[in-house]
């Protein structure tokens, strides 16, 4: 199978405008993402809505494609980019452009999900550890995932699921393995075409989680497990934390 990494990267951001171009250890955040994707996939393309990002990618030797400014989600942007540059790819891997520390093992894990011929969509989770604490588990910005015995997603929620009956919340992490969603997706090309034509679903609107639209419409999402912790960049403060992380891990 041929895998293409598509990396949505918007210039406009309420909390951190121009963040794909922010410098991290001397090179743009988007360059970190593209370089890892290019090493691990058959092809890697940044899909952007801004000429400044396009030009920055071309300057460091990457590949980019212009897409519409009106997309509602990164998935929609990926599908437009796939139509322009991805024909011939069997699987599209959607890597967020603000994840400079995406790890090769994570990309290998999501690729491996497609060794199962039944896989339509794949994503990753990371187990919460008892030492992470109840506050991390309850964080609504860190969606939880419930899986079945074949590691297919049953549900995604901003709430803590499942509820551990008969135990105080402060011991839940020692009584059950909870999974934190890692926002990395891969889709068979035909499935990507189908899911981008779906209207918003009631569960998606309720939780503000796009993947619930796919589940609610009967698509299956296979889940791979990673133990790698990464730092996404949503704010300037996140960039400062990323600088510290990079200094510790990349010298």
Q: Report domain extents, the chain.
A: 1-103
Q: State the pLDDT at residue 249.
A: 86
Architecture, CATH, for domain 1-103: Alpha-Beta Complex (3.90)
Question: Backbone phi, then psi, for 16, in 5-degree steps?
Answer: -155, 80
Rg (CA), the chain: 18
DSSP state of 228: -
Q: Cα–Cα distance between 138 and 152 in angstroms, integer?
A: 23
pTM (two decimals): 0.95
Provide the β-strand partners of residue 225: 125
Q: State the pLDDT at residue 45.
A: 98
Q: How far is CA 167 from CA 53, 149, 163, 171, in A?
A: 50, 24, 9, 7
Q: State the pLDDT at residue 230.
A: 84
Q: Cα–Cα distance between 85 and 163 in angstroms, integer?
A: 44
What confidence tens digit (pLDDT) does each residue in 137-176 have?
Answer: 999 999 999 999 999 999 999 999 999 999 999 999 999 9
Burial class of residue 82 (count of CB atoms within 10 Å of its CB; 0-12, 13-18, 19+) = buried
Q: Cα–Cα distance between 205 and 72 in angstroms, integer?
A: 13
- In which residue ranges of the chain is pLDDT below 70? 251
Q: Cα–Cα distance between 228 and 221 in angstroms, integer?
A: 20
Q: State the pLDDT at residue 15.
A: 87
What confidence tens digit (pLDDT) does each residue in 28-42 have?
Answer: 999 999 999 999 999
Q: State the pLDDT at residue 80.
A: 97
Q: State the pLDDT at residue 250.
A: 83
Q: Cα–Cα distance between 244 and 205 in angstroms, integer?
A: 36
Residue 182 near residue 120 (C-beta atoms within 8 A): no
Q: State the pLDDT at residue 222.
A: 98
């Amino acid at each position: 199978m041929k895998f293409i990494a598509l990396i949505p990267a918007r210039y406009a951001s309420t909390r951190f405008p121009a963040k794909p171009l922010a410098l991290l250890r001397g090179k743009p955040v988007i360059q970190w993402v593209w370089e890892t994707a290019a090493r691990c996939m058959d092809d890697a393309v940044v899909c952007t809505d801004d000429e400044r990002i396009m030009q920055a990618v071309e300057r460091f030797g990457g590949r980019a494609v212009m897409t519409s400014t009106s997309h509602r989600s990164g998935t929609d942007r990926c599908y437009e980019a796939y139509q322009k540059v991805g024909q011939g790819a069997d699987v599209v891997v959607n890597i967020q452009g603000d994840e400079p520390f995406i790890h090769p093992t994570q990309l290998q894990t999501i690729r491996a999900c497609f060794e199962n011929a039944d896989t339509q969509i794949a994503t990753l989770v990371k187990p919460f550890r008892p030492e992470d604490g109840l506050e991390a588990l309850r964080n609504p910005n860190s969606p939880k995932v419930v899986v079945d015995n074949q590691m297919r997603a049953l549900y995604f929620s901003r709430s803590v699921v499942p509820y551990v009956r008969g135990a105080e919340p402060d011991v839940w992490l020692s009584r059950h393995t909870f999974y934190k969603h890692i926002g990395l997706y891969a889709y068979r090309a035909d499935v990507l075409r189908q899911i981008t034509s779906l209207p918003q679903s009631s569960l998606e609107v309720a939780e503000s989680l796009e993947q619930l639209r796919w589940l609610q419409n009967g698509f299956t999402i296979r889940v791979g497990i990673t133990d790698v912790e990464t730092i996404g960049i949503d704010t300037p403060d996140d960039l400062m934390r990323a600088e510290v992380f990079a200094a510790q891990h990349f010298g």
